[in-house]
Structure 1
Amino acid sequence: MSDEHTETGTGWPQPAGPDRPDGPAGEPDPRPDAPDPDELSPLSPQERPADGDGDGPSTGRGEGVPASPADGVAAVLGAAGARLRRFSSAAVMIAVLLVLLGFTLAVQLKTTSTDSALAAARQEDLVRILYDLEAREFRLRQDIAALEESQRQLRSGEQGRQAALEEATRRADELGILAGSLPARGPGLAVRFQAGAAKPISAVRVLDAVQELRGAGAEAMQISGGDRASVRIVASTFFLNGESGSLIVDGRRLTGPFVITVIGDASTMRTALNIPGGVVAQVAGDGGNVTVEDREVAEVSALHVPRPLEHARPVA
């Protein structure tokens, strides 16, 4: 047995270790983060022998010994916490997207239902709604302009008291005309209803005409019969069918032909009466005739006697 066999203690030659990783020309690895060549080993940390002769028990922990159990538990908890944070962020994003989706569906359903109601309406109804909205918008714009002018005058200082008195007088006159307690004069129309031979003018047709005129911006109205009797038309006026083609208006009997005198924008009211399927078309379908005449000065002289209120009281 040679000296080499004797130095190994096994009787066999010592196996040659793996070559250390060197540079391209056998030089040390030039990378700054390269591991120490002495720390490299061909064995895994579990298979690396402890310091000693390899046959006896290990007396210390080498560099390849695994970490303690506490270190492993801490690593597992850290990874679980990172996954939990990622899961919480994803859950919040999903919740926000679900809320936005629900809101969008609700708005879509509401819009669809509204559009369906308008789509099911007749052409005559749509035209009537359009004219009513335009007339209402025009009146509201006029009211806004008048109120702004009144506010400016009331704040003008020395003319404030006089402006307030004039404004109160104007408002009283307007309310008197609307309530039918004051006569009125202005441009407007004279709408004449002539019954046919087969069917008289019904209270429903006259009421439809009054509603159309109100929607077109009528400010004052009265209805007259063939005997020159007149009744002021206000918010509480009612119409009933009487005997022999007559009408009962607010308890007073009127005979035909009937004439409604109205004050307002003549062109707008004429258009409202002549819309397809409107009052003129309905009376013509019953065999009657409606004649609409422009009046530069229409007089509404009939007055309405107010009734004492029994139940309604003003709010303090």
Structure 2
Amino acid sequence: MTAPDATPTPEDRQDDDASAPADQDVAPRHAEAAPERGHAWRTLRRALSPRLSTSRVVAALLCALLGFALVVQVQQTQTESLSSLRQSELVRILDEVTQRGGDLENEVRTLREQRDELQSGTADDAAALEVAVERAERQGILSGRLPAVGPGVTVRITEGDTRLRATALLTVLEELRNAGAEVIELNGVRLVASSYLIETSEGIVVDGQIVSPPFLWAAIGDPSALGPALEIPGGAMSTIRTGGGMGRIDAVDELEINAVREPAPLRYAEPATGTDSA
């Protein structure tokens, strides 16, 4: 048996020649695609980037000239609008401007007067408030409602073999007041204008509280006046020594009295209502 003939026919050679170019064109097409995309991006960037050209310069100059012409036209129109008015109309406009200026000046004057009144009223209120606070503090100290500090004297009185009488301590209180003591304390009890000292079987009572020796006085005032007032012949300290007691007086540059008391409510007295004396 004879083997089949493997020699290609003319038709087979034509088919191979037709398919070969197609396979050879694939690679060049892919190679050309990348340069084309890069060229497109460069073209887009050039289109978007600003470029100075003659047409753009001419357009900018024309816009500037147009704006200048409009400004000149507006100013000329305003000038012509005033120059075209009659004298009576110009006088009327001038009167209106003058009247408006006068109204503004009056308003400024009124506002300044109101400002001055407010400033004066504020100063008066501040001064009145300061006086009221000072008066309240002074009354609070004198009435015993507020603690106090200042120069003064301390007095220590002890008993001897004989018991001291309440009248001897009352003499000390009177001498301190007469010498100008502003705040007085005895054994932790704040003494005021209504204070009293009495003797009981349990001892000396000061404003309802029993006090026992030693009797410790503290008085705020002028030390150079308080000390000598207690030591005058026949005075408070002389009475204490005569009654068998002993006393010591010390001047203090800064004496602090913290004992306070609330004033008793008034039962009968009321503030007097001011009346005209005409």
Compute the displacement of 1:267 (Å): 0.8
1:280 has 2:237 as partner:
yes
The percent of aligned pairs where both chains have the same amino acid is: 39
C-alpha distance in structure 1 between counterparts of 2:156 and 2:142, whole Å:
23
Runs of 5+ in structure 1 lacking a partner?
1-155, 225-229
Map 1:121-200 to 2 at 5 A.
Answer: 159-197=123-161, 199-200=162-163
Compute the displacement of 1:196 (Å): 1.0
1:243 has 2:197 as partner:
no
Choose the corresponding residue for 2:251, options 284, 290, 294.
Answer: 294
**1:237–1:250 contact (8 Å) kept in structure 2:** yes
| Counterpart secondary structure, 2:149 | strand
**2:164–2:244 contact (8 Å) kept in structure 1:** no
**2:181–2:222 contact (8 Å) kept in structure 1:** yes
Rg comparison, structure with higher value:
2
Map 1:68-87 to 2 at 5 A.
Answer: none
Choose the corresponding residue for 2:191, options 226, 233, 240.
Answer: 233
1:303 alignment partner AA: V
**1:232–1:302 contact (8 Å) kept in structure 2:** yes
1:179-224 residue CA offsets vs partner (Å, 9 max, x unmatched):
0011111110111111111x22211111111111111110101100
1:3-58 residue CA offsets vs partner (Å, 9 max, x unmatched):
xxxxxxxxxxxxxxxxxxxxxxxxxxxxxxxxxxxxxxxxxxxxxxxxxxxxxxxx
* Greater fraction helix: 2
**1:193–1:201 contact (8 Å) kept in structure 2:** no
Compute the displacement of 1:262 (Å): 0.5
Spell out structure 1 runs of 4+ moving beyond 4 A: none
What is the aligned residue count? 154
1:116-152 residue CA offsets vs partner (Å, 9 max, x unmatched):
xxxxxxxxxxxxxxxxxxxxxxxxxxxxxxxxxxxxx
2:198 alignment partner AA: L
Runs of 5+ in structure 2 lacking a partner?
1-119, 274-278
2:179 counterpart residue number: 216
2:269 counterpart residue number: 312
RMSD of aligned Cα (Å): 1.5
TM-score relative to the length of structure 1: 0.47
C-alpha distance in structure 2 between counterparts of 1:218 and 1:189, whole Å:
9
2:193 alignment partner AA: A
| Counterpart secondary structure, 2:160 | coil
Cα distance change of structure 1 residues 157 and 305 upon mapping to structure 2, 3 Å threshold: closer
